[in-house]
Chains A and B, each alone.
Chain A
Amino acid sequence: MATETSMRPRQEVKAQQSQQRKLEVVGSIAFVVLMAVVLPLLLSGFRLGLLGRFLSLAIVALGIDLIWGFTGLLSLGHGIFFALGGYAFAMFLQLNSLGEGQIPEFFGLYGVDTLPWFWEPFASLPFTLLAIFILPAIVAGLLGYLVFRNRIRGVYFSILTQAALVVFFNLFNGQQKWINGTNGLKTDTSVFFGQQVGSESMQMTFYLITVAVLVVMYLLCRWLTSGRFGRLLVAIRDDENRVRFSGYDPTGFKVLVFAVSGAIAGIAGALYTVQSGIVSPQFMDIAFSIEMVIWVAVGGRATLVGAILGARLVNWARALLSESFPEVWLFFQGALFLLVVTALPDGLVGWFRQQAPQQLRSLISKPEPLLTYPQIELDPDIQKERQEIGDRGA
């Protein structure tokens, strides 16, 4: 894309860019108005809650797009960061709804009578709000550093993240007495700013916060990917060796972008937790983390809008299908993976931007004039000359 724009006159490019920016601003404002004002008036509480959850999943998709679409790192372990953010917020909510000196109820079941040390800091709101994204970022950064510094990449990286996911699942699932293991932490009945988290007004607030955070995260990713940093990420994706030979060390950039992506997932996890009412090790299910990748693939890699769109479309389809035919959903999802990978590698947005005009035109049988001709026989000039020669010969 970069080469394409650099071939054209500068002013033309500038004009197009400013037009595109205008379009984007109008689009974002329309999106915010639709999400924050129109839909709450139209949808019932249940549907709105569902939408809020989908929007928080769209935030994760943005983070995955950042590392997969732009940097070419396929993480199958984003559930870790999602769950870490969720746990951080849920721990705060549990502590927040208790009186002085009390500890959460489930501790009693396992005979723990003092608050474990790692719970203590989560009593403070500022710490928790920081921890929601810093904790996942640290974990992601550490894992990323240990893997990338050895130039482990591609499939190796993917399966290592998957193994890390299983490990974290085991850690949270097995530690029954520290964080309530399999049962997870419920947030529905806990109190936040004097109100129950499960109450309608609180849910509405969280929904609006989710919309706002989605927009902010979109802008952040947009900013990250549009400048020099973004170009470097794409360069790492396309040819890491060449980046290395050009004098950059890709490790630092990869670690940074992986940490940012983890932080985004953490924020999304916190928002998802309060809107679904529970955080449990199920957030770190293998299938769930791979599903996150398919949202991005359906929408379109390296297109941030695509990530948001894909997350909402797939989850909407999931809600629709698993309500009516639960057994079809897995078939559908499997087919979706196959279809997207083989037939639609650029996703919906990519297809719409690049191939759709051509394919639609060829459907109504008017092929686009080719700039270069694949065969000499197809060149109209040559055809014309041949005809003339043929005519003369005859």
Chain B
Amino acid sequence: MIEGLINGLFNGISIGAVLLIVALGLAIVFGLMGVINLAHGELMMLGAYTTFVVQNGAKALGEGALEFYILAALPLSFLVAALVGLALERGVIRHLYGRPLETLLATWGVSLILRQFVRSVNWAMIAGLVLFCLLYFGGRWILQRQTQWEQTRRVAAPVILALSSASALAAGILMNQNGGNALSQPWFGARNVDVTAPAWLRGGLSLGTTLQFPYARLFIIVLTILCLIGVYWFLNGTAWGLRMRSVTQNRKMSACLGIPTDRVDALTFALGSGLAGIAGCAVTLLGSVGPNLGGNYIVDAFMVVVVGGVGKLVGSIVAALVIGIITYLLGSGTLALILPPAEALQPLVDFFTFFATTSMAKVMVFALIIAFLQWKPAGMFPQKGRSVEV
């Protein structure tokens, strides 16, 4: 009875930890910019694939390296996802501020592209991309050195974009067809790939006879706590964190006081994306890695943001833990089991048994979230302010 409860609590917390690590980046970005990033799941996926690549590299290095590849994979996943996030912010989202619904759609477009990208990426494609960047940015750089750029921009920018993308596409297709297997072989393919956890993360900690805490789960909980401490320190202990908090509170006033809001935006987005990368690295311990990996976690992470509110980090923490625990308790049927076997409680037991699958638990949790929003529409810790929200 007690053991069952502890077990349920542990599993709930570990689900909550995964949710929290996924939602953390999302919440920071949403709080600062009011932008929901539908590509967040795909940034996670990039982190997971980075882990896969690091693992393969470690395999080539030998047994000793394989034990500790995850320690190298974490910062690398952060870096890869953060760079992609930075490019995304500078290239697309920057142009869409003040139009949150359009941003939503644009990030969905990016997520589709990223999903197909990992399926079909090969050396020919990379070469084509590099060629495109060289031609496009090189061409712009050369043209910008002319004094006439501002006048010719309207015509020149689309022309150079069309020319460089056409030549890069042609080169990519040519290499794909004639370059042989080395160039056209997809790196990952559409099938799921597997990341094996290092030996010290397999197995679990046993307490008593029935209690079992898998090391992988414990690792994720510890990692989540470390990420939280890191983010907390960054927000409250550094100059850029201070700027970020001030922009979150009042963007216009911060801009007036000389805070470079666009750099704060870029930095925040990169940070949020990097956290997605770490989350992706963490979830490789739980299952296989595929192009659709992000989709399994992302909607729950949105719910964490909605329930938690955007005012404080602690909202996300509480929301993630509560949603995790409730999901587990409902989904595993623990609630039905721990009720005393009285006749009067039988309908209640039937009710909980009906919801005792993972998918049905989600149905129930959603109903609870909607009910909760009737009571607190802006989440647990709403942003406080006197102005009417726009």
| A interface list, Cβ under 8 A from B | 68, 72, 74, 143, 146-147, 149-152, 154-156, 158-160, 162-164, 166-167, 170-171, 173-174, 241, 286-287, 290, 293-294, 297, 327, 330-331, 333-338, 340-342, 345
Shortest distance in angstroms between B72's beta carbon and chain A's nearest beta carbon?
31
CB distance from B61 to the nearest CB of A (A): 33
Which of chain A's residues have a CB closer than 8 A to the CB of B106?
337-338, 341-342
Chain A residue contacts of B105, Cβ below 8 A? 290, 293-294, 297, 337, 340-341
Q: Which residue of B lies closest to A160 (CB)?
A: B306
Q: How many A-B residue pairs have CB under 8 A?
A: 118
B90 interface contact, C-beta 8 A: no
Of A74, A164, A170, A338, the residue contacting B109 (CB under 8 A) is A338
B390 near A158 (CB under 8 angstroms)? Answer: no
Complex-state Cα separation, A333 to B104, whole angstroms: 15
- A150-B101 contact, Cβ under 8 Å, with A162-B299, A164-B366: no
CB < 8 Å: which of A155, A164, A286, A338 contacts B104? A155
14 CB < 8 A contacts A-B: A68-B101, A74-B101, A155-B36, A155-B104, A160-B370, A162-B302, A173-B359, A334-B112, A334-B113, A338-B92, A338-B110, A341-B103, A342-B92, A342-B96
Question: Is A330 a contact of B115 with CB atoms below 8 Å?
Answer: yes
Q: Taking chain B's interface residues, is the majority helix, strand, or loop, or is none over half, making it mixed?
A: helix
Q: Contact between A170 and B360 (Cβ–Cβ < 8 Å)?
A: yes
Interchain CB contact (< 8 A) of A154 among B101, B117, B359, B388: B101
A68, A74, A163, A342 pick with most chain B CB within 10 angstroms: A163
Q: Confirm or deny: B56 has a beta carbon within 8 angstroms of a beta carbon on chain A.
A: no
Asked if B108 is an interface residue, CB under 8 A from chain A, the answer is yes
Q: Is B112 in contact with A337, judged by CB distance below 8 angstroms?
A: yes
Specify which of A166, A174, A331 is in contact with B357 (CB 8 Å cutoff).
A174
Interfacial chain B residues near A333, Cβ < 8 Å: 109, 112
Q: A327 near B109 (CB under 8 angstroms)?
A: no
Residue contact B119 to A167, C-beta cutoff 8 Å? no
Contact of A331 with B116 at beta-carbon distance under 8 Å, contacts A159-B36, A159-B306, A173-B359 already known: yes
Known: A158-B36, A241-B390. Contact between A167 and B366, CB under 8 A? yes
Interface presence of B5 (CB below 8 A): no
Tell me if B287 counts as interface (CB < 8 A to partner A). Answer: no
Which residues from B are CB-within-8-Å of A160?
Answer: 306, 370, 373
**Cα distance A327–B112 in the bound complex, in angstroms:** 11
Instruction: Apart from A330-B116, A337-B108, list 4 A-B contacts with CB within 8 A.
Output: A159-B303, A335-B113, A341-B103, A345-B102
Residue of B nearest to A286 (CB): B295
- Cα–Cα, bound, A139→B377 (Å): 20
Please list the 4 inter-chain residue pairs (A to B) with the smallest Cβ-Cβ separation, ordered nearest first: A337-B109, A150-B377, A334-B113, A334-B112
Residues of B within 8 A of A166 (CB): 299, 362, 366
CB distance from B141 to the nearest CB of A (A): 22
Whether, in the assembled complex, B191 has its beta carbon less than 8 Å from a beta carbon of chain A, the answer is: no
Assess whether A341 is in contact with B112, with CB atoms less than 8 Å apart. Answer: no
Q: Which residues of B contact A286 (CB under 8 A)?
A: 295, 299
Interfacial chain A residues near B113, Cβ < 8 Å: 330-331, 334-335
CA A294 to CA B104, docked complex, whole Å: 12
B146 contacts chain A at the CB level, 8 A cutoff? no
B residues within 8 A CB of A146?
370, 373-374
Q: Is the CB of A327 within 8 A of B104?
A: no
